Amino acid sequence: CGTTGESPTLTYAEHKEIIVTAVKCAGGRVPVMAGTGSNNTAEAIDFTKHAEKAGADAALVVAPYYNKPTQEGLFQHYKAIANATALPIFIYNIPGRSVINIADATLARLAEACPNIAGVKDATGDLARIATLKHLVGDRLVLLSGEDMTMVGFNAMGGEGVISVVSNLAPHLSAKVQRLSLAGEHQKAREAHAPLVPLINALFAETNPIPVKYAAHLMRKCSTHVRLPLVAPSVAVQTSMRAELSALGLI
């Protein structure tokens, strides 16, 4: 349960139910990384313990939003969550939504203090920091991109994958990009990524997940409904989304 899953407008019961449902649907075929973050540490711990009990394979814990903790507060927040579970914890750094940035030094400190902190989902768009993180933590943390547009460059800098929005629509194309880039075939990865660029741009023409849910609706995967305060996409976004999906043969 994250941005694309509209987690801010889920009730606590819905959030927990979705984790259970995802684990059941996966049926062990693929790992399930459950979104268990909150700006309330006790609540994040509760969600994470629930995910562990439900059979999730890892927890993705977003940086606390709105209350803007210090770096020491961030350290204590993640340490408390990690100490409350045996699940691998992936820290989600997305300052564009949470306002705060988790500093490289804080991530390195957490990696040293908490053995089950396994990785970082980085949605800063700052590829240079990947080099810094690799210098600080080596292979201790798995570094995953949180941005579709920079996924090739992210892996080239030492990243190991992506948690993707566009993969909800074109998983086969996104997976091809990852296979090539992780194999060191960066030119081929760029060529495979290029056809996705117009679709990625369309997906973020308005606030995620408004466009991606509309796109999934066009592909007959779900309804267009989003909960307030999100609203339906504009006519312009609807038109561009239909065009980009058609161009890729997805509808």
State the catalytic residue, choosing from 12, 16, 24, 121.
121
121 is catalytic: yes
Task: Beginning with the edge strand found earlier in the chain, give each strand of the sheet holding 142-145 in spatial order.
Answer: 33-35, 58-62, 89-93, 117-122, 142-145
Radius of gyration of the chain (CA): 18
Coil, strand, or helix at residue 118? strand
Residue 248 DSSP label: T
Give Cα separations from 251 to 4, 200, 243 (angstroms).
21, 16, 9
- What sign results for the dihedral spanned by CA atoms 87, 173, 212, 130? positive
In DSSP notation, 67-107 reads S---HHHHHHHHHHHHHT-SS-EEEEE-HHHHS----HHHH
Contact 148, 137 (CB under 8 A): no
Which two tokens mark 125? Answer: 């768009």
66 is catalytic: no
State the catalytic residue, choosing from 92, 176, 188, 221.
92
Report how far residue 90's alpha carbon sits from residue 113's, in angstroms, rounded to the nearest whole number.
Answer: 14
Catalytic residues: 92, 121
